[in-house]
Amino acid sequence: MSTPVVVQGTPVSPPLNNNYGDGGTGTGVTESMETEQQEPPKTTGCQDPIFAVLFYLNVIAILVVCGTYGREALNSSDTGMNYTELVYGALVFGVASLVFSAGGLLFLMQYPSFMIKAGLIFTGVMALVSCVYIFMMPGDMTYKAIYGSLSIIFFLITLCYIRAVWSRIPFAATNMITAATAIKANLGVAMFALFFAGLQVVWLVLWSVAYSGVWDKTYVCGNDGCDINYGYLFLLFVSLFFTQQVLQYSVHVIVAGTVATWWLTPMNSGCCSKGVCHSFIRTISTSFGSICLGSLLVAIIRALQMLANSARSNGDGNFLVCIAECILGCLASCLEYFNKWAYVYVGIYGMSYKDSAVAVMQLFADRGWDAVIADDLVGNAILLTSLVSGLIIGAIGIGYAGANAEFSNMTGDNSWMAFLIGFTAGLSICSILLGTIASGVNAVIVLFAEKPQEFEQNHPELSRDMREKWHEFYPDLTLM
């Protein structure tokens, strides 16, 4: 018999590579014997340590740049800009983002079904707004006819999607309720989420100082215009997104491990329980390299996307740059979606990034859960909440620019630029805090697939509710 893998202080059986997609015929004695012969995954020691080293080097580099060039840029600038106001603005937006993100988290936990419905309706409204905007904007009629027709098709597809998945909202809401229940039973997770969101504020300030110093030294203007050093800009963007992704996925892994503890051994739950503390320790130690690996991959793609956007905005690119920006955005989104499932296994089993990615995709492929992954209704609710928080911080950005002449000068007296700065800061920080709900739901889906019997034993009421909703809307997919 294989020895259980001890993760986050809780005995968790290793993931099994059983072929449950064979119509449910492989559940007899033969399968049990094969299961007994399988070896548990090797989860001892640090996973992917080299990428943790790269992360530490990234942080050290930004600190060195801050100390070398940042202070000088804050005190005096050849471009005539007061970069101190950029740092003050980052601090204001960061604190405001924490406050409104915490409110959004509480609202999501209290009204899950309402927020899922609102998120679905929001996708339809945005598709309609896009149609109206394309037809009303000035420009060539041929352009409006082509893109307008595409927008109408997209709007109709969105309506069909809403109609198709509306009946599945109860199951999605049950997943969110279960995740919220696990988080409420381990409120220390929310504290760690706030901690990492606070680190994001600190990082935003430090990165702003470093960016100011590099920009002040490399941004050169002459008679032929201004030149941007895209090499330095790329490295800065990689650093920004690398750290942001690491902080976000750290919360994801902590929540996954804590939910697994609550799922299997609820007696270990509590505000500062063993499950919460051990999840945190595991995240910042043995699993940290795996977190850094996936985060770096996303950061590189996002940095290339931002580089293409900067080149297009500076007039240094053509339509090929627009195409590249679009492709890079799609690649980054696909990788982020892939990562969120892989990191569930990192949090539950302490596996490496590669093994986790293979295990979670194999699980859903074998059991026919691909439809459930595609039916990620909870993401719409979280996206809507994050956008609302971003819009509020963006509005604060406009107000801050109106009240602060120096900051307004930095944005070129452009209210939209002030709004964009606030919106970006709010959306980034909110994504970390609201990641507790998203991560909890992802962990619930994986654990419900692998260990429904333990769920029934430890949380019978929630289990019965999920089973009823599951069999009602997915009658062809069976449980263990």
Residue-level pLDDT at 316: 64
Distance CA 235, CA 307 (A): 10
- Biggest CA-to-CA distance, the chain: 81
pLDDT values of the chain reduced to their tens digit, one per residue, 480 residues:
444 444 444 445 444 443 333 333 333 322 333 333 333 344 557 788 899 999 999 999 998 888 887 666 656 555 455 556 667 777 788 788 888 887 887 787 778 888 888 888 988 898 888 888 887 877 667 767 777 788 889 889 989 888 888 888 888 888 888 888 888 888 888 888 878 888 888 898 888 888 877 777 776 665 665 566 778 888 888 999 999 899 989 999 999 999 999 999 888 887 777 888 889 999 999 999 999 999 999 999 998 888 887 777 666 666 777 778 888 888 888 888 888 889 999 999 888 898 988 887 787 676 655 546 555 788 888 888 888 888 888 888 888 877 777 666 666 666 777 788 788 878 877 877 777 888 888 899 888 888 888 999 999 999 898 888 877 776 666 665
Distance CA 375, CA 28 (A): 31
238: nearest Cα among 325, 300, 328, 311: 300
Residue-level pLDDT at 256: 92
Distance CA 360, CA 374 (A): 14
Residue-level pLDDT at 29: 29
What are the domain boundaries of the chain? 45-114+175-473
Rg (CA), the chain: 24
Residue-level pLDDT at 60: 93
- Locate 35 and state its tokens: 């299961």
445: left (phi over 0), alpha (psi -120 to 50) or beta: alpha
- Locate 223 and state its tokens: 């008679």
Angle at 432 between CA 66 and CA 390, to 5 degrees: 90
Residue-level pLDDT at 448: 87
Distance CA 314, CA 429 (A): 28
CB 169 within 8 A of CB 377: yes
- Locate 338 and state its tokens: 């892939």
CB 123 within 8 A of CB 162: yes
